Structure 1
Amino acid sequence: MASESSEVVKEFRFFRVYKDGRLEFFMPPVEKIPPFDDPITGVRSKDVVISLDPPVSARIFLPRISDPTRKLPLLFYVHGGGFSMLSAFARSYHNFVSTAAAEAGAIAVSVEYGLFPSRPIPACYDDSWAALRWVAGHAGGDGAEPWLNEHADFGRVFIGGDSAGGNISHTLAARVGSIGLPQGVKVVGVILVHPYFGGTDDDQMWLHMCPTNGGLSDPTLKPAKEDLARLGCEKVLVFVAEKDHLMEVGIGYYEELKKSGWKGSVELVKNVGEEHCFHIHKPEYEKAVELKDKFVSFIKHN
């Protein structure tokens, strides 16, 4: 008979839980890279501390400035990782957001939010909301971060994220619609890439990571109709991948949003033959470039 310390009581997609409460993650810890100035693209990056308690930080990306008098659209990005892994400071996310900033001509803020198990859900939502409000607090030009004061166009804010970050991005848009942001801040669009919502085998994993959950109908797991109806943006772009187990819930989100009474416009893009978040893992791949180009175009043309 297995000892209590080695007996597995629950096993999910990303980790298993032992009887003594110990967790074993199936993926190694992510390697983080420091910010740097890219001599090829001209994108500069730096890290900022938003809050010490709870600990929330972000990486800011500033593209090459050709006209100092022109304000830049602002991308607020939320990384994926199943609410328990990865980082805004991982090389893959640094590269994706830096590329998006360069090609969209946008200043970008990539939030580093709290992860399970050290900070169970709903920390990810609350940290990301605190970071978005911190960013919005620069709309008057007198915030703590000069890059935002000097270069951000707060009338053209975009929220984007993939996987868990897509889920969090929806909740942020719902909070914008219900709670609001400071005067002068307008969220034009939201981009959800292969978003993680309820309705799959991962539901029990999410419930385990959120001890204060409201069950399978929790609106942060399964978006509520009233939240969809009052999304605080004008346009939504949803990507789904054909070989992704989350594809159907992503399509369901798109369909429910259209029926909710929300007055904005939503577009669905299906990545045929592709896996979950393939664009992050294989950024040079032709279809990954197509996804990135669509992501960038959404920002440039809205």
Structure 2
Amino acid sequence: MGLGPEPWLNEYADLGRVFLVGESAGANIAHYVAVQAGTIGLRGLKINGVLIVHPFFGGKEVDKMYKYLCPSSSGCDDDPKLNPGADPNLKNMACDRVLVCVAGKDWLRNRGEAYYETLAKSEWVGKVEFYESSDEDHCFHLFNLNSEKAVPLMKTMVDFITQE
């Protein structure tokens, strides 16, 4: 285990097997952290995979909420936090695998699929997988954990993390 200043991390955390997971805007954060980790390097930490669940990637129109939160951003697709394809460091993503999950009725579904396609065609050397929950909306599984489509989605995520 670790030799850092936090005893509970040293005892319980396996920094050689880390997964980043994010839902909606958190998916953007998980992606961006993985790219930054690969770009700047993080000693002693191995990111095995990233789960991108119902991502909130931007489009060609200005995202006014994001622009308010990040005034230095254009708020649209030239910002790598909203459009990973605009990031010259995408190829550096520090993980071996990515699972992209979208929901069929989610107004952001196409952006999630475009992210999957961008990553698959990029110079990044890992493996990207795609999972769609048809006839469901953004973050549906968080509102009914036992719904007909939430259970298979969560199983897919667990399987992704537990596979060797």
Task: Tell which deviates more after alignment, 242-251 or 210-219.
Answer: 210-219
Aligned to 2:50: 190
* Displacement of 1:197: 0.5
Aligned partner (choices 54, 60, 73) of residue 213 of structure 1:
73
Aligned counterparts of 2:105 and 2:5: Cα–Cα separation in 1: 43
Amino acid in structure 2 at the alignment position of 1:281: F
Amino acid in structure 2 at the alignment position of 1:298: F
Aligned to 1:263: 125
Amino acid in structure 2 at the alignment position of 1:259: K
Matched-pair contact (CA < 8 Å) for 1:238–1:268: yes
Amino acid in structure 2 at the alignment position of 1:194: H
Aligned counterparts of 1:214 and 1:201: Cα–Cα separation in 2: 10
Aligned to 1:23: none
Give me the identity figure in percent.
47
Question: Which sections of structure 1, spanning at least 5 residues, go unmatched?
Answer: 1-138
Q: Deviations over 1:250-276 (max 9, x none)?
A: 000011111111100000101101000
Give the TM-score, by structure 2 length.
Answer: 0.91
Greater Cα radius of gyration, structure 1 or 2: 1
Matched-pair contact (CA < 8 Å) for 2:105–2:136: yes
Aligned to 1:106: none
Aligned counterparts of 1:264 and 1:275: Cα–Cα separation in 2: 28
Answer yes or no: is 1:243 the counterpart of 2:102.
no
* Displacement of 1:288: 0.7
Matched-pair contact (CA < 8 Å) for 2:2–2:11: no
Aligned partner (choices 9, 14, 17) of residue 153 of structure 1:
14
Higher strand share: 1
Aligned counterparts of 1:270 and 1:154: Cα–Cα separation in 2: 30
SS at match of 1:196: coil
* Displacement of 1:214: 3.8
Aligned counterparts of 1:149 and 1:172: Cα–Cα separation in 2: 22
Aligned partner (choices 193, 204, 227) of residue 64 of structure 2:
204
Q: Which has the higher contact order (CA 8 A, sep 6+)?
A: 2
How many pairs align?
162
Q: Deviations over 1:44-93 (max 9, x none)?
A: xxxxxxxxxxxxxxxxxxxxxxxxxxxxxxxxxxxxxxxxxxxxxxxxxx
Aligned to 1:292: 154
* Displacement of 1:206: 1.4
Amino acid in structure 2 at the alignment position of 1:164: A
- Superposition RMSD on alpha carbons, in Å? 1.7
Answer yes or no: is 1:176 the counterpart of 2:37.
yes
Aligned counterparts of 1:200 and 1:292: Cα–Cα separation in 2: 31
Q: Pairwise mapping of residues 139-150 of structure 1 onto structure 2 (< 5 A)?
A: 140-146=2-8, 148-150=9-11
Aligned to 2:115: 253
Q: Pairwise mapping of residues 1-302 of structure 1 onto structure 2 (< 5 A)?
A: 140-146=2-8, 148-182=9-43, 184-199=44-59, 203-216=63-76, 217-223=78-84, 224-302=86-164
SS at match of 2:157: helix
Aligned counterparts of 2:138 and 2:64: Cα–Cα separation in 1: 19
Q: Deviations over 1:178-207 (max 9, x none)?
A: 01112x311010000000101176722211
SS at match of 1:268: strand
Matched-pair contact (CA < 8 Å) for 2:103–2:132: yes
Amino acid in structure 1 at the alignment position of 2:51: I
Give the TM-score, by structure 1 length.
Answer: 0.51
Q: 1:202 to 1:242 in 2, by over 3 A?
A: farther
SS at match of 2:149: helix
Aligned counterparts of 1:277 and 1:215: Cα–Cα separation in 2: 23
Aligned counterparts of 2:135 and 2:142: Cα–Cα separation in 1: 16
* Displacement of 1:235: 0.3
Q: 1:297 to 1:143 in 2, by over 3 A?
A: farther
Higher helix share: 2
Aligned counterparts of 2:55 and 2:89: Cα–Cα separation in 1: 16
